[in-house]
Amino acid sequence: MAKDEAQLKVDKNLEKIKNRLLVFSGKGGVGKSTVAANLSLAFARKGLKVGLLDVDIHGPNLAKMLGVEDKKLDVSADGIRAVDVNNNLKLVSMSFLLQDPNIPVIWRGPMKMKAIEQFLGEVMWGELDWLIIDSPPGTGDEPLSVAQLIPATGAVVVTTPQEVSLMDSRKAIQFGWKLGLKIFGIIENMSGMVCPHCGKKIDIFKEGGGEKAAKEMQVPFLGRIPLDPQIVTLGDEGKSFIEALPEASASKAFMKVAEKILESA
């Protein structure tokens, strides 16, 4: 299929999707997939119809985190049907197509581009308020493909407070600007932890770096997500953190970030 035909197919298929949001980062290890999953769940909790697309071809983790790793995509002549996570959230991930989750996907750029085109052009997303796209870290093939295939896409950049991560987040913002993405803002993840024993706040990775980078780059600062061991535990168990522990500080922080994005959409 020629590139222009593929783009037309993507455009037609995404006509029913009101908003598109790319979640990405300048480096790995910042908890980007955790942020993408919980933002999607936060939107869904508000009654919005949400699609979550995992375009991390080499390391798709969202199906595991959302408790649907045993599901498969329904593929027919009409198209591809996404996996329902709950009544308001559906997911498409490369992990649904793997026969063995332990076998690596060894693909070059063109094959990854084709897979992303198919996810965007052949999945029957239906009427959605938001399509949230979880991209692998960096400024390479996958986020570039999404930005080129979906016009008028918004983006959030996930960082942790330490300087080495902030350096890469600045590059990610520059990348977004060059591709015409609307930068909704920066999210500072792993921003401190409240000790479960003494109640004292511990700044494991410092604090405030994300807000500083947002001011320097003149983009909104969306908020801080504190470390919570239960995010890891529940994610490994395939359970929703913000639904299991809605009163936790991190859950409230995710909801506030979601509200800021919705307000500026």
pLDDT-derived band at 2, boundaries 50, 70, 90: low
Residue 21, strand partner residues = 132, 154
Of all residues in the chain, the percent with pLDDT exceeding 90 is 46
Highest mean pLDDT among 162-176, 203-217, 234-248: 234-248
Number of domains composing the chain:
1
Nearest CA-CA partner of 64 in 225, 240, 212 = 240
| Domain boundaries, position 220 | 3-264
What's the predicted TM-score (pTM) here? 0.91
Residues with Cβ < 8 Å from 185, sequence gap 6 or more?
156, 157, 214, 219, 220, 221, 222, 260, 261, 264
Q: What is the CATH number of the domain that holds 192?
A: 3.40.50.300
pLDDT at 97: 81
Residues belonging to the chain: 265
Residues 1 and 3: their CA atoms lie apart, in Å, by 6
What average pLDDT is seen over the chain? Answer: 87
Residues 205 and 189: their CA atoms lie apart, in Å, by 10
Average pLDDT on 21-31 reads 86
Residues with Cβ < 8 Å from 100, sequence gap 6 or more?
none
User: Does the pLDDT value for residue 51 go beyond 90?
Assistant: yes
User: Alpha-carbon torsion 258, 261, 263, 265, what sign?
Assistant: negative
pLDDT at 167: 82
User: Does the pLDDT value for residue 255 go beyond 70?
Assistant: yes
Pair of tokens at residue 232: 């890891």
pLDDT in tens, 135-149: 887 767 788 888 888
